[in-house]
Structure 1
């Protein structure tokens, strides 16, 4: 017999099926991270361009894998409820803009605190993703509160490229967890055999 927690997990996975296909999002996150590394002058721009074809192929291959393994799940219409996932990014952009406009340079990272707060709030509100959100939110909060910028300089996580890189890294952890949750909850369809074998 299926218990209540398992039914809740199945309901969560089928409702958020499109968002839990983590292998499809990882190549996109990798490309954004490369673009931020280029913007920080850590790598050459040619690498960002050269990465587009293999990363696009990897994303398409992942989408094909999910379709073959699980078919297509049609979640119920949720309206604008899913827009709540954009609030942490919006809050971070607003916080970064406010700090920049005010000309403040703090030894702690306001952007990192906002992102970690969003991850920790998500850990409370979105139970199936709690372990991954804690894994992301707690280290972000600790690093954001350590005065890495010194008394006069900005915190490294307050640099736009760096907090976007951190966001990509945290999102990658969340995407891998989503993939594992999807795989554990929904069993892949059996592979089709070629005719005549």
Structure 2
């Protein structure tokens, strides 16, 4: 997601890094890596000692730099073991800057990225704001009503596993092609 901030206030690198730290502490998936211990079921693993969300700063030359950086980031895999599954690109200009969140879809959907951008901009406006962290869920069962039995439903567990496997295999194929 890219957003242009065209007001006259300067974006402070210190405030930007502070905001990224607070956002990372709030969201467990931004402190996670993907572990593939069993090829059938990749899992998120929260790492408390994970590196900070990288801030990549690019000097803004043209109005199309955001598109160039977006295309460049599209092909960068998130494979490093101690780095988060997120990056922020700051296309820094004298009077106009763009901020580009880069995250894989397994971590962040459209609604979530809007939330991240809202939090980021809110923290830039108010660096002292506190974001309350939340717990990562352990299982889909935490979302099911008490007493719910998957076997009685129309969706069989094997079909759920099939779609999970299919999704991850598509991602693996895409990475190999890249």
| TM-score, normalization by structure 1 | 0.25
Structure index of larger Rg? 1
Structure with more helix by fraction: 1
Higher RCO (CA-CA < 8 Å; seq separation 6+): 1
Structure with more strand by fraction: 2
